[in-house]
A and B are shown apart, each in its own frame.
Chain A
Amino acid sequence: MTTPTQPTPQPTPPTEPASNTSAPWSRLDSALTGGLALALAALGYLVFAVRSNEADVATARRQLDEARASLKRAESSAGIYGDTSKAALVASEKAVPDTQPYIVVSIAENRLWYKLRDSVLFTTRVATGTGKTLKKPGGKEWKFETPRGRLKVEKKEVEPAWVPPDWHYIEMAKKKKMRIARLEKGQEIKLSDGSVVTMVGNDVVKRLSGGEIVPYAVREGHEIVADGRMVIPPLSSNQRKYTGVLGAFRLYMGDGYGIHGTDVPSSIGTSASHGCVRVRNEDIETLYQIVKIGTPVFIY
């Protein structure tokens, strides 16, 4: 009889296989835990970095805003000044007169320009006042200078007659070493030969002792002389009017001053006049034609 064979007890599997099953998870766990720790640390760092960078951005934003505000202020102030200067220039343009021609006379250069704005329409040499003085009988004196300032052409004259002022006779008398005798209308100057100098109508005449009347013929340098005295004729007399001395035309500027021609063309370009502006006769003809009454005359 055979005894059933007892099955051979199987050896208990070592616990090793069980340990082997949980070990990978455990390793994975620890790896994951390590990774998680690192990730959390990184998270902490990054949160800090974000906050720091947010602050940085806020600062940069503020700086940018401030810079923009400064720029705006700077631009607006530049604009203000720009506008001011434009306004000033407009004001300047308004100050320029209309398109009216004008005359400029330089006393120092003895030159005349007829201009329209900056364009010279005509220019020529002139003679202006000498600047010399002559004593008046009363103690004061005449100064023969061309007046500086703004004048204007008040009238245009053809064949102007020169009515010599008193200084002309005083100057001539001084030159010829004579005394002066002033003849008033209705008066007479008795002469040593019995004749008299008097007025008949508008003429200064010499009435001879026999009653004969001889009108005086005068011209510049040949004034009436009576017994060694130079006679100043009345202003209204014909003997107080010299023709041809001022050329064919005159642009009268008032107060006795004018731009006129001359019978002494060699004086042009020098300081030779008694205050008027002398030009050559051909130039006064041109000026007479192109200059209108009312034209401003600037003398400097």
Chain B
Amino acid sequence: MPTRTLAIAVGLALALAGDGWLALRVRSLQAEARQRRTDAFGTATATADAQMAAQRARLQGILDRVRAEAGADRGLHLSVQVDSGTATLERDGLVLHTMDVDLGPESLVGVAPDTQRLATPRGVRTVKSVVAKGQPFELPEWLYRERGISPPTNRKLKGALGLGAAFLEDGTLIYAQPTEGPLADSLYVWPGAVRLSADDLKAVLPNLKPGVKVYLF
């Protein structure tokens, strides 16, 4: 065999070997890249899950903290368990009165641009003011509109809030269904408010003096 031929053959063999090795290398790199991408995707999914879990844990942590604060509060206070729709009047870590409550839905009230979003808050609030039984109270105009009633000229009605009510510092209302006026509807709850039964309100309202803490969690 001529040397030239031999040289070419050897060169070809080496080139083919190189090709083969490189082809295997490419394949291996592609497999590695694919694997790492799969891993990265899986990790990203796990990260998203973990972030969601962290967010949930953060929210749960806040609610747990509020719940713990309520439990540690030795003074008379009201605890509203928003998720379970129950409330308890507590003192010294003891439950004095347990009651079921209706929570008003989240709602955007008013007429643009003068609108307000009302929702049951979470956290610690205090009673700011109390409306006594039979005390005249001016219901907001949006309430009539929500109820599909034309607002009267004089909206200050005696007994509009029935047996009385308490307003928290952020405007959240604690009341019972009155027997007259636009709130006298068992199916309608003031947006964001906490509605008790009449008997429960009678038991609890005399204790809700201004400054009394209300924990919502």
On whether the beta carbons of B50 and A150 are closer than 8 Å, the reply is no
Classify chain A's interface size. 35 or more
Query: Is B156's beta carbon under 8 Å from chain A?
Result: no
**What are 6 A-B pairs with beta-carbon distances under 8 A?**
A39-B18, A50-B29, A81-B54, A81-B61, A106-B97, A298-B91
**Would you call B22 an interface residue if the criterion is a C-beta within 8 Å of the partner chain's C-beta atoms?**
yes
A interface footprint on B34-72 (CB within 8 Å = 1, 0 otherwise) = 001101100110110011011001101100110111111
**CB nearest to B29 among chain A residues:** A53
B36 touches A60 (CB 8 A): yes
Query: How far apart are the CA atoms of A71 and B71 in the complex, in Å?
Result: 34
- CB-CB nearest in chain A for B48: A74
Q: How far is the CA of A29 from the CA of B5 in the complex (A)?
A: 5
Whether, in the assembled complex, B149 has its beta carbon less than 8 Å from a beta carbon of chain A, the answer is no
B54 touches A300 (CB 8 A): no
B85 at the A interface (CB under 8 A) = no
In the assembled complex, the CB of B193 is this many whole angstroms from the nearest CB of chain A, namely 21
Chain A residues whose C-beta falls within 8 Å of the C-beta of B36 in the assembled complex: 57, 60-61, 63-64
Interface residue ranges, A against B (CB under 8 Å)? 25, 28-29, 32-33, 35-36, 39-40, 42-43, 46-47, 49-50, 53-54, 56-57, 59-61, 63-64, 66-68, 70-71, 74-75, 77-78, 81-82, 84-85, 88-89, 91-97, 102, 104, 106-109, 115, 118, 148-150, 296, 298, 300
Least Cβ–Cβ distance between B34 and chain A, in angstroms: 8
Is residue B83 contacting chain A, with contact meaning CB distance below 8 A? no
Residue of chain B at shortest CB distance from A84: B61
Distance of A63 Cα from B30 Cα, bound (Å): 15
Known contacts A57-B32, A300-B76: A32-B5 contact under CB 8 Å:
yes
Known contacts being A40-B15, A50-B22, is A57 close to B44, with CB within 8 Å? no
Is there a chain A Cβ closer than 8 Å to B74's Cβ? Answer: yes
B92 within 8 A of partner (CB): yes
| Residues from chain A with Cβ under 8 Å of B93 in the complex | 95-97
Nearest 10 A/B pairs, CB to CB: A74-B50, A46-B22, A39-B15, A53-B29, A60-B36, A92-B71, A67-B43, A81-B57, A88-B68, A108-B203
A35 contacts across to B, CB distance below 8 A? 12, 16
Provide the bound-state CA to CA distance between A197 and B73, in Å. Answer: 56
State whether B43 touches A60 (Cβ < 8 A): no
Q: Is B157 an interface residue (CB 8 A)?
A: no
- Chain B positions 73-89 with a Cβ under 8 Å from a chain A Cβ: 73-74, 76, 89
Checking B32, B33, B50, B70 against A78 with a beta-carbon cut-off of 8 angstroms, the contacting residue is B50
